Structure 1
Amino acid sequence: MRKLKNSELGRLNVEDFKKTAKIPLIVVLDNIRSLNNIGSVFRTSDAFLIEKIYLCGITAQPPHKEIHKTALGATESVNWEYVEDTLELVKNLKKENVIVCSIEQAENSTMLQDFSIESHKKYAIVMGNEVKGVQQEVVSASDFCIEIPQFGTKHSLNISVSTGVVLWDLFKKFNF
């Protein structure tokens, strides 16, 4: 086995990435305080061809050197928009027939491995604040609450890790 060189990876340039078909999935960042987490979500969203990222509330916006440090240029490739109020955004997405899923530990949540998608529908996942999680009013307004199963002594994952786990799972379910 030999590691591939960067030139052998067949990576898209930003212009080609923007023209490439995306999976019908939106990421909503609800009051994320860590600039490194924001950058990581951009980078992971680029990897899995996510349609758009919404940055809400206190979530910082590019350009910012701390976001750039982990995004590695993904803020240029992934479509994004700032919206102040997460709940208003969720209501508007639902009016556009987007299925909104909060990623949270909650009563009657659906475990990620049990969550099924309809391939002809568009979805949005809401990722919450590192300490408080997704706002309760946003959870209540969501169509689904998806939970990542955990089996150790800790009951949480870092937001960038959670986003990566969920995006990979949904990417596979879209059969892209």
Structure 2
Amino acid sequence: MTADAAPQGAHGPRAYFLAGTMQGARTGADLTDQSYRQLLTETLRGRRPGAVIHDPGVVMAEWLAAHPADVRASHAALAGRRVIRRAELAPELTELTELFHRLTRLAAESDVCVAWLPGHEPSMGTAAEMLSAHRAGRTVVAITDMRQNLAVLSCSTVILPDLDAFADWLDAGGDVT
């Protein structure tokens, strides 16, 4: 399929949700390298110029920009708490958890959820986004080596090994459910 023949979703250009490891197994504000988001975006733009791309990394950065110190301080304080009750979270953490839920809903509303899971590091957020998209009947493309991970296997429409395989999948039409 050529870039000129970009697939359409039910209501216009196909929407892609970029799921992927942010925090992974790290604590606090220690994030994984997020450069994969640009690589996925460039790959999609090159092959699906009219596509709508939902990047949680961009959404999170925009949201955090409004009050980064409060969020980071409240989030860091969680490490010292033995018991955490959702009803007792600081307002900015309640907003952060609501943002997480909005993002999982956006994954379910997008036509394709592209999950970047390099190596063998699990990502609970990515798993939630994949499950949400899977339950909504969307196409879930996992780019990962985790072929035997039950969550990946259960929620993926297709599992690909790397970015080149993803580009090939798109070039072949990017079959969707």
TM range (shorter): 0.3 to 0.5
More helix by share: 2
TM-score, normalised on structure 1?
A: 0.38
TM-score, normalised on structure 2?
A: 0.38
More strand by share: 1
